[in-house]
Structure 1
């Protein structure tokens, strides 16, 4: 969980934007060409650069571009000024200075001296949407997406390389099924454009394969990665060989990740080596070069080729000073620690584990700050909008006052007709105002519900992350403790925490935050217990049957702990001196209550078994949680052990 979670976060930055694979230019030639031109020609020169080159020179343009605002060639031409401000907003966006980017774009939209064409307004909305997405202001993203949809219905051209903003938004909210459906719809739209870039469709299928991998659908992910390679071979290999090499290298690196998830490290290694070979020609992609090498080192470690793993990690260290993504550094520290642990260098391994956990904790704190900061940013942006609205309202009031004077003069001539018109006008304005107020309130309610849903999903996600961190700390304590009894206690505590964490994971992946689908949850819980207690000498089969039963979180958590204790006891005690066994877990609903039945074909319970005299934490926990569920516990020996618990669903938090 920890290993691929970190790698997924670090690599997603590369994968979602791997579509832009155009060639870069020597740095000195770019600076010299830019410096030799006048102000407006510098803007035109910047516009013609491909996105990859703009990203490579982001610091240079971020420093030099704002100085052009004082140039007379730009100040004295409104058309040049608007063109310059569009380019300046992109410079801020690429650098990550989203506040300045938004302010520049809003200044263009509010400029009354220049009327934007539909195409220019579409480009402005797309740029605003990107900045709001990077600030996690999702309600603003949805609002702008609605305006973009209106323009597209009118036939206004939509920038092709902005096709996946909405699917990215769903992915960031962990709604991977929606992200996949949205991206498929976006690909269908792209295929309608005969003038599309031959690079964009293969890149989109790469993104689709990546979303399936996030959703743990490995077979579909492989299918779309291979589809991306087929289209690249057909359309890119001859026309754009450098873009072809970069995209296929990236796709094969992504496929290597899937093979690693299947523990097929031998197959993953040549794919990663090809990806690294392609990346070696791109000196600006330090993040992609580092992440591919870290995974390659991990593959060698899994195959116990420790010398090769060590050599690759040493190569990674040259990229670390140039990487600003902390998740990649966490992944590096974790991989280094696991290699040192395998080499029996325990103290050094522990030091790198500590670095990884500290940095990971720092990332969580930064994410919380960013979430809170996003609300503060939204507040300041709304303040600016309110100030502009107040100024426009003042102008409207002044115009209305002048109009009232004129109407008063005309009233003398057409008194009766005017009174009729005024009364009709007042009624119409009142109705319009009431409609506007209702619409505004409905909009606020919808935005509030959307924000609360996002925050609730984020809460479950953070609870799961914190529980996983506690589980990791217990694992560290277990690794450095030599007392077998204490190690057993830590292992059992880790398993109990894991059973609760899986509940929160199921909730933040679900569209329904109130109830947990227990069949999928039990399958995941049983898999986790099997990984902990299964060994090569024994084969224990677990059969789960929970039908379509869903339980609220107040019932799910104590029930998950009961199931964890019973299955763990079966793995530990039921199959002594046996090479295989079977455990059946069945959850069913009987009228107004539920029945949990767990049985195994093991050695059975001892004669005169009485859990009240055991002084066992596990059975004490089972009996206490059964009582909390207002349930009844029974057991019997019948070709093994069978434990039955009938219980009621808890409707309120006690």
Structure 2
């Protein structure tokens, strides 16, 4: 049972639970220990315990932690690879996205050679996502657009993936007009109920309007028990406040978001998948980084350095792609804070990090920080170089950026007006439809009034007939109560009979036990014990009957489990090392068939314990199987013990157990079959 639980729970989750439990235990002992020596001894003990547990689980994690890249390659076909790719968010945890990109190119060439159009589409879809993760947004847009335009008949789920890629890529490319067109397409396909613009307003430098629309759209659907959703909500509100130059209030929202994400990650009620943990920890890193950026804006550089370092550590560990805007932005913020507190070399190392893709804004900031670093180092030639580089870069993008933002705002306002107009027309159509429905209802009401008059006349006749029927119904109800009371009484009497039969059989078993104590002959004792076991098997039938609501049948799965437990308590040797599997779910038998079955099983299980596994430390398996087939059923019993002796056929006539089982099987109108296996023995028969 413990093994099953261990397999069903992620080892990382178990390990984290142990860490949290150990921490609470350690703090509890610290509060209890008034004497330093006592605390030191207990601390050493818990440290040793923690080391052992850590080593054990670390080994199991290493053994069982599969490489997503290798699992992807081992998938048998393009469809399986696509499904694995889409559901594995932490796919770059052990292999870089460049490796994934190269592998997908190889698979795509093979699909093109085989002229497998479905596989070609699926590999190109994955390529689009990898290009986006690498920060190659233009290439991702080009490939995604081409796939979407040339494959109109693809499933809706795959259309959704392509449109989400286009939406996110256009956002990173600051092509908000294109982004609004994608969102219109998603609404037309029914992938979203409404077109939202709050994130676009934020990117265009209007955070107050973005926050207003975001709160209006999201707050009404937020579930207080959804810790992850609340963390996202509070973090987004904090971002809008920060962009609106209000860092103190933003910090409050970010810390609320941090509390919610900690509740989500530390919850021991819901066991989370590796993807959910990765997603949660990445959000935590982003939230902590946002707190650090607020402290940096407030000139609290020591606090900012603490939070930004912590954020980079988490994002570096859990980021799902090679390119991460949060990683780049937090790195530049941390470098700026370290320059402020004169940690110059640490700042330089951060600025020299190899970011594959930097947008113009971040490039300007990095050049500015390099110039500030060289100013502090009195290297004015290099400082001047970076200042001039920034001037050229800023001049080249300033005019173009202003024109683009103006065009984007115009397009956004136009899209919002179109969206509002569409909502107005939809509301107008709904009102007209309601008006037509009301007119039709008025016409129906007139018809109903006329019908009601005739109905009342007919109803008055029905009332008379109803009153006449009440007297008859009362008589029927009274008779029904009498019959039900009689049935309940009979059920009670029948249960009492079964109870008394069970008690009498238990008394017989007790008498046999007393006789065993007064008998010295080993053979007689064994015979008495076997008789007692058979009596218990029959007593258990009557016990199950009077405990059931249905007195006509016995549920065999529960009965067999109880019978086997009873036999195991007698044969204590090896009882915990023999694995017994019972497969009789849903099979019910009446008492005439259940009693022979109970006695047959009693003989078979007892023989397995006595002869199949003669040594106390033997390990083995017993399999009991009953199923219904057509108008009868099938019974099978196997064990992998030492098997039957070679002269078993000669002993059959003298063996009490075999003769008893043959007679019992005859009562079931069948014949007992015995098969010798390479390891063990198999008994089986069909019954009616």
Larger relative contact order (Cα-Cα within 8 Å, sequence gap ≥ 6):
1
TM-score of the superposed pair, with normalisation by structure 2: 0.41
TM-score of the superposed pair, with normalisation by structure 1: 0.43
